[in-house]
Structure 1
């Protein structure tokens, strides 16, 4: 039976209080795995403490969790991957459960969902509401309900890791990973894990409103990029209905009086009709381009994965 190479990926920024414990916990839980700490230019000695705990340390100078994940996915070679935040809020003893579906080939990404089991102090004010809003938005736009979009505890297949381009720079990366899996027919599953509280003196780097806005903006852009026919088709439908409304007014007036006393309304109706046509054509063209691009991406990824596994 082939040996499965596994890697634990720990993104960190100023986690000196917790990183050594996180490395030690996951070393015990997954003794055969390579433990990697990706240090995002920390200033508190995180990198040195991680080395002392036995982790391989890789420095990422570009600030932002998305930049760190991009480096992780490009630099580490393994068959299965486990990503976990370095703040000691996720339990290492659930690592095997998350990896099980990946190893058995039942999923390409497994998310450790936190919302069913967490302490009252685990989430800051408005974070729970924000997570629900993001879940609702993704469920409505992409047609697949998820229980926890923003979890930082995830397992991945090699195919997923080497396929994902990683466009996000910050904390919107979890949203991008979730949507990418849905849009590209990767199998996504979820496992419930307990979510702990940060130790005293350790602070979250997540900004409630700034990063929340970025997450919602990312969802909108991803919907446009990954579902162009639905996005532009919906806009075309609205423009077409508006055109019919204004056109009906002009036609009704002409049928009664034999003249058009509001030519600007007629011009607006025609402009809206032309806009609807352009939007629909744009959606059709981009949808075709997307399909061809996805085919090429999958062919390239299959070759890369196959060569590395030989």
Structure 2
């Protein structure tokens, strides 16, 4: 009879009722403990810098900003922010005209950009699913999109997701990027060790239940490649939140001949605009039905501002416009 494997402390904690793991982050290993941990080979990354981490923690404590980072306390997100800074720094994502997707008032945004000097940066407030980005074609040098893409829902949702919002957003990002411009995307990894452990415990493997969709590395690669004109520069997974002892999971994966690579809890993707890259059709199991075209009345309502502008310039009589809008 095989001896039962003693579950890790992380599993024990979840079994006794701590369902909100973000409220109890202190099981995570301290940075100085990582080197002596059996998970060191998984946790180590060239994008972690101790000085950056120290700067991030100081900036978090001194910043006056909206958190925008979930409910795990101020320093819970510190490692992710520190690693994000290194990706931005090492891949030249802070030069020229930069756009961050989302508000610049969030804590993570303020901390990230406090580590860079004189960045020409703007945030966004538009509907990513359907509204064009408010920039001309080939205008933006770099785009930063951290922990956003998993929130983008469909424009038209009927029986199942088509990811129409995600595809629209990525096409818009490609449109506004200059040739050679870059974009950083970070998003949870749906096939991480943490997600596998959550599923084995009978819990939702979603990082947050209110995310619209979380993606695996394979899925994100296919999504980016299906756009065309975008070259994958770097696509890694990093352990940014859960520095737990997952050795019971990794041993099982090895014994069953499953891959242990790309099992970090967050994906870091750097893409570059390159018009010579052809689109590769994805094989994601999405509905093939195209979303219904807007009605004539809907099309006119969407164009009402343009029509009224023409009326003001007397290109069309107002009576004509009113008749057209009533269809």
Q: TM-score, normalised by structure 2?
A: 0.27
Between structure 1 and structure 2, the one with the greater Rg is: 1
TM-score (norm 1): 0.28
